[in-house]
Amino acid sequence: DIVLTQSPLFLSVTPGEPASISCRSSQSLLHSNGNKCLDWYLQRPGQSPQVLIYLGSNRASGVPDRFSGSGSGSYFTLKISRVEAEDVGTYYCMQALQTPRTFGQGTKVEIK
Amino acid sequence: QLQESGPGLVRPSETLSLTCSVFGGSISGSTYYWGWVRRLPGKGLEWIASIPYSGSTYYNPSLRSRVTIFLDTSKNQFSLQLSSMTAADSALYYCLITGRTDSYYGMEVWGQGTTVTVSS
């Protein structure tokens, strides 16, 4: 199985400030078709997870443009340009290259 | 929209049966992969299984010997069975769309989740 390692595991951010979460994979997530098979999900308190970013850098429908994904090979980053109160929750990366799909441990984000 | 249903409490060694009802669209002829993910206490998210309309099944190898996923197109539902339940299977179980057969937009739609506790 592909192992995903996120860092940091906990992030405390001031509203309006940027935030960044990284996800390192145990192997390259580059598909033979050129897709970077890494997604980002946010699980707000009391809610189901929702997709933020798919295939490395594509924002899902309805996701604010303050969220961006980047990276290649086995190292990926989720950036929030200006954190807002509604961004609290746990962020997960997930690899979509192979079955079984696997998730990172999660990064809990709180607002100062 | 997706809605899970099933028992909140299961006894050790029994089989868990969960059903996901699909609203606002039909499983029949769809291009989606229908699946299940669980959130284990203190351990994050774990993908369990997926199935497209064709009926091909995809299972997490760690659970393969105990899990079955299947469609019921007459009821517009899909279901999960997990046998030989133990306390380690206590979790919040989500049904969801895990992908598409002709493109990919991430795990797009999630149910609200149903809590399953294994206890005698």
CB atoms within 10 A of CB B51: 24
Cα A16 → chain centroid: 19
> Average pLDDT of chain B?
96
Q: In angstroms, rounded to a whole number, what is the distance separating the alpha carbons of residues A82 and B6?
A: 41
pLDDT above 90 (res B116): yes
Question: Taking 90 as the threshold, does the pLDDT of residue B42 lie above it?
Answer: no
Q: pLDDT higher for B24 or B42?
A: B24
Distance from CA of B5 to the nearest CA of A (A): 15
Name the nearest CA neighbour of B84 among B8, B19, B13, B9: B13
Contact between B2 and B33 (Cβ < 8 Å): no
Q: Residue B32 — very low, low, confident or very high, per pLDDT cuts 50/70/90?
A: very high
Which residues of chain A fall short of a pLDDT of 70?
Answer: none
The helix or strand, by DSSP H or E, that contains position B10, with its residue range, turns out to be strand B9-10
Cα B108–B25–B56 angle (5° rounding)?
Answer: 70
Beta-strand relationship, A10-13 and A107-111? parallel
> Using CA of residue A3, residue A32, residue A100, residue B47, what is the dihedral sign?
positive
Structure tokens at A38: 């890494």
* Strand spans (E) along chain A: 4-7, 10-13, 19-25, 38-43, 50-54, 58-59, 67-72, 75-80, 89-95, 102-103, 107-111
Q: Does B41 contact chain A (CB < 8 Å)?
A: no
Cβ(A92)–Cβ(A45) below 8 Å: no
Residue A16 pLDDT: 96
Find residues 72-91 of chain B whose CB sits inside 8 Å of chain A: none
| Confidence at B43, pLDDT banded by 50, 70, 90 | confident
Q: What is the pLDDT of residues B9-18, one digit of tens each?
A: 999 999 999 9
**Contact yes or no for B113/B18 (Cβ under 8 A):** no
Confidence of residue B55 (pLDDT cuts 50, 70, 90): very high
CA distances from B92 to A32, A34, A38, B44, B102 (A): 34, 34, 23, 10, 29
Give the rounded percent of residues in chain B with a pLDDT score beyond 90: 96
CB contact under 8 A, B106 and A49: no
B42 interfacial to chain A (CB closer than 8 Å): no
Could you give the count of Cα atoms lying within 13 Å of B37 in the half-sphere of its Cβ?
Answer: 26
All residues of chain B having their beta carbon less than 8 Å from the beta carbon of residue A104 are 44
Q: How many CB pairs under 8 A join A and B?
A: 59
Per-residue tokens: B116: 């399953």
- Residue B106 has a CB neighbour count (10 Å cut-off) of 22
